Amino acid sequence: SYETYLETAEWLLSRTKHRPKVAIICGSGLGMLAETFTDQETFKYTDIPNFPKSTVQGHAGQLVFGELKGKTCVCMQGRFHMYEGYPLSKVTFPIRVFRLLGVEVLIVTNAAGSIADDYNTGDLMIIKDHINMPGMAGQHALQGPNDERFGSRFPPMSDVYDRALGKLALDISTELDCSNLMHEGVYCMVGGPSFETIAEARLLHKLGADAVGMSTVPEVTVARHCGLRVFGLSLITNKVTKEYDSTEAVEHKAVLSIGKMRAGVVQNLVLELVGRVDLTPTRLQDIQEKQIQ
């Protein structure tokens, strides 16, 4: 309920001096982004009222507030997934809390397998669109009663990923001399926790997916419903097998190791993006605090 989100937002506002305008969600093995924050204040998920608990290896399970390139940010070191047994209302719970804290921009990172033939392990993909497989099957993050205080009943999703932020990220990648790693593509979310069968991989390829993972889409959907600008970035940690004579098999440990290998590149890209993102001059935080009061 709206009151539950308010309770959590009020709890955080009363315990941190920071008023974040940018929120960052770190995927598997990418939690090091929060370590670059200055003037940090950290809260374990287990201590935050109504927050779910992260159970996946590579997800630290804490919320970090701080300054990054002159912007006040909040970072999730670890996200929540359907396959952990959480309903989508819990998976996406932090997003509406961020909205009430005054966040305007959401940056999401994830680890993903490549469906596209020309993607290599260690590449990066700016998400330009997504395929919501659980949503198409009736498990949608906006299912249930709609609260107009967050957004409209039928929000459009044709502009879910902010094109200006995507272009800015491409420009930054050229400056950082890592444009050879960059792609723009379509991310497909599946429920997990099992990795894809060969038949499933072939189907996703025909549907137009370039990369596949088990997260991101619910959070992004709720973020757009709330009016946040969204930038999504996938780290390609493995190639999804589409041939029956292949002997390759993906393991979660390998996913984490690729995350560590590309940690510096992802970190520098996001750092520069946060530093250059334009925020509105109006104090959305003031509006939200009045609502809480």
Mean residue pLDDT of the chain comes to 90
Any idea where the domains of the chain sit in the sequence? 2-292
Q: Which residues are catalytic?
A: 28, 59, 81, 83-84, 111, 214-215, 238, 252
For 157-182, how does the pLDDT look when each residue is reduced to its tens digit (9 = 90+)?
A: 999 999 999 999 999 999 999 999 99
pLDDT at 262: 81
Instruction: Tell me the pLDDT band of 292, cut-offs 50, 70 and 90.
Output: very low
pLDDT at 287: 44
pLDDT greater at residue 280 or residue 153:
153
DSSP letters of 161-217? S-HHHHHHHHHHHHHTT-GGGEEEEEEEE---SSPPPHHHHHHHHHHT-SEEESSSH
pLDDT at 162: 97
For 52-108, how does the pLDDT look when each residue is reduced to its tens digit (9 = 90+)?
A: 887 766 557 899 999 999 999 999 998 899 998 999 999 999 999 999 999 999 999
Q: Dig out the tokens for 203 from the structure.
A: 């189907």
Name, in order, each residue with C-beta under 8 angstroms of 210's C-beta and a sequence gap of 6 or more: 114, 115, 116, 119, 125, 183, 185, 186, 187
Give residue for tokens 């009020």.
Answer: 10
pLDDT at 29: 65
Q: With 70 as the cut, is the pLDDT of residue 254 above it?
A: no
Sign of the torsion formed by the C-alpha atoms of 157, 159, 162 and 163: positive
What's the topology of domain 2-292? Rossmann fold (3.40.50)
**Rounded Cα–Cα distance for residues 185 and 125 (Å):** 6
pLDDT at 283: 42
DSSP letters of 36-100? G-EEEEEEEGGGSTT-----STT---EEEEEEETTEEEEEEES---GGGT--HHHHTHHHHHHHH
pLDDT at 143: 95
Q: Dig out the tokens for 213 from the structure.
A: 């993972």
